[in-house]
Chain A
Amino acid sequence: MARMKFLCDADRCIDCNACVTACKNENEVPWGINRRRVVTINDGKPGERSVSMACMHCTDAPCAAVCPVSCIYPTDDGIVLHSKDLCIGCGYCFYACPFGAPQYPQVGNFGSRGKMDKCTYCAGGGGTEAPSSAAEFEKYGSNRFGEGKLPLCAEMCSTKSLLAGDGDIIAQIYKERVLKRGYGSGAWGWITAYHEDVNV
């Protein structure tokens, strides 16, 4: 069984935000929700790096653990999905998430955040809707995964900085790159998300 992961090679990311746009377009997410975002570290200084970040689909996902209604769960492929029918919009997943992945439709005073929304690895939703149905698309966005495709953000990344796919394979690709070019800033978030690093 494959274990799906994301890996952003920050030494290749050019902060073009195409992954962000692709995600918004593919999943038709509402205004104000950013399932994926690009953060620039050391902006304007030597060693500046940009990293594209979304839900990392963690091992032992902390969001799933803290959810008071247990509406978040990992699939067999290691993708972390949730049910918007069960979500109560308490915001705990955002406090637990190491990557700021959970998003809410409203600002959220008095607990009025609405149902949580996050990257689904383009694998549809974790609710009761039929896979690839219109109802599923409405709530959770695209189900490319059901068609055997990887998330669009990684698929269309122009510098192939953002990698999606089986963890072992993308780690291998990253390793080869680092060896070839002689440097690498590391697999961002991997230790926190997967309790393991890509050692080169």
Chain B
Amino acid sequence: MICLARIRLLLVAALLFSAAAATPALAQKLGPDGAPNPTASVTPQRDLLMQAPRIEGRIDIPDRKASVLIQPAGRTWDYFHEVLLHWGAAVVILGTIVLLGAAYLIMGRIRISAGRSGRTVLRFRAFERFSHWLTAVSFVVLGLTGLNITFGKIVLLPLIGPEAFSEISQIAKYVHNFTSFSFVAGLVLIIAIFFWDNLPAKVDIEWLKQGGGFIKSKHAPAGRFNPGEKAVYWLSLTAGLAVSISGFLLLFPFYETNIAEMQLAQVVHAVVAVLFIALILAHIYIGTLGMEGAFEAMGTGEVDINWAKEHHDLWLAEQLEKLGTRQSAPAE
């Protein structure tokens, strides 16, 4: 009995204490004349913004995104888009071009040291080249129209005036949106076709030890693709998927996304695209200016035997063996 009474006492004390603690909150709900004011249970917007990144409520119209009353993150996204992205993208893209220019000046064109043999071997079949160029052309179109959205108003607008620039940008927007489909188609083909040859192999370590073909006195052995090409493959795969997924979210705004996710999709799309452009600039350099005999692989599909010997010896041996067995087959 004594025990129960004690518990009751404690409960009463706790109740009194909580009532005392709640008093300041109650006091706020009194009018200036001291009378209770039921309408004064204020929800200050400052507190709401401190509790959550955005203020959302109920709205009469059937538009979910309109129920967001205030989202200060819009200002943050503005800062990303106008400051971070402009500077970041300019530094990354121009920096890559400067680095590649420096590489060309220092190293020059990587020649076929044994000279051309005049004999060629098939490196990429027609369908492989089609897949590559479908993706490549789409990429260039997407890259240019995409950069126009970010840098057009700085670079192009002062040159051609607002009317012409607006006209071009409108067309560029639609071109960007619809070229996305051919890019994704090409990307899927590339991922599928070159998947097996891009899996890591033991010889990759040896290739790296030998300086990846950049040291003239050393020979870096490689199969169909060397680790440098494999890096381009896997980075393109990752970046391609990231820009495709974020791009389709932007293409169908507010379907499954809210305002914060739309902003995030745009940030991912822009950041990955800029890094992707830098990667592809390097890829274009090594495939054209940077190395003699490399472009033909994707041009005609046929590479010089000596080029193949220097850069893909293991692959060449395999190919020659295949050719040999095929040619010798009828003789048997």
Contact = CB atoms under 8 A, between A and B. Distances in A.
A37 B55 contact: no
B149 A68 contact: yes
A184 to B, nearest CB: 7
A191 B49 CA distance: 10
A53 B153 CA distance: 30
A124 interface: no
A76 interface: no
B253 interface: yes
B69 A51 contact: yes
- Chain A interface size, as a band, is 35 or more
A185 B78 contact: no
A183 B42 contact: yes
Contacts of B149: 68, 90
A89 B170 CA distance: 8
B59 A38 contact: yes
Interface string A81-112: 00001111111101111111000000011110
Nearest to B263: A95
A49 interface: yes
B82 A69 contact: no
Interface stretch (A39-47, A130-138, A142-150, A158-166): A39-47
Given A37-B59, A40-B58, A68-B150, A100 B45 contact: no
A192 interface: yes
A183 B162 contact: no
Interface stretch (B106-114, B128-136, B171-179): B171-179
B165 interface: yes
Contact of B31 (A43, A182, A192, A197): A182
A66 B153 contact: no
A86 B162 contact: yes
A124 to B, nearest CB: 19
A29 to B, nearest CB: 13
Contacts of B169: 68-69, 88
B45 A188 contact: yes
A49 B150 CA distance: 39
A185 B43 contact: yes
Given A69-B157, A91-B253, A100 B66 contact: yes
B40 A95 contact: no
B70 interface: yes
Contacts of B48: 41
A155 interface: no
A183 B46 CA distance: 14
Contacts of A51: 57, 69
Interface in A146-200: 180-189, 191-192, 197
B41 interface: yes
A71 B166 contact: yes
B146 to A, nearest CB: 11
A43 B73 CA distance: 24
- Among B42, B74, B170, B259, the most chain A Cβ lie within 10 Å of the Cβ of B74
A41 B43 contact: yes
A188 B173 contact: no
A191 B46 contact: yes
A155 B57 CA distance: 25
Contacts of A65: 78, 81-82
Interface string B34-76: 0001011111111011000001111111010111111111110
Given A41-B55, A65-B82, A96-B74, A111 B28 contact: no
A38 B58 CA distance: 9
Contacts of A120: none
A95 B75 contact: no
B72 A98 contact: yes
Contact of A95 (B55, B162, B262): B262
A96 B76 CA distance: 8
A119 to B, nearest CB: 14
Contacts of A71: 162, 166
Given A39-B58, A70-B153, A185-B45, A111 B166 contact: no
Contacts of B70: 53, 98-99, 188-189, 192
Contacts of B61: 34, 37
Given A100-B65, A111-B174, 16 more contacts: A34-B66, A40-B59, A47-B41, A69-B169, A90-B149, A91-B253, A96-B77, A98-B70, A98-B73, A110-B178, A180-B32, A181-B31, A186-B44, A186-B46, A189-B70, A191-B49
Q: Which 3 A-B pairs have the closest CB atoms?
A: A62-B78, A47-B43, A182-B32
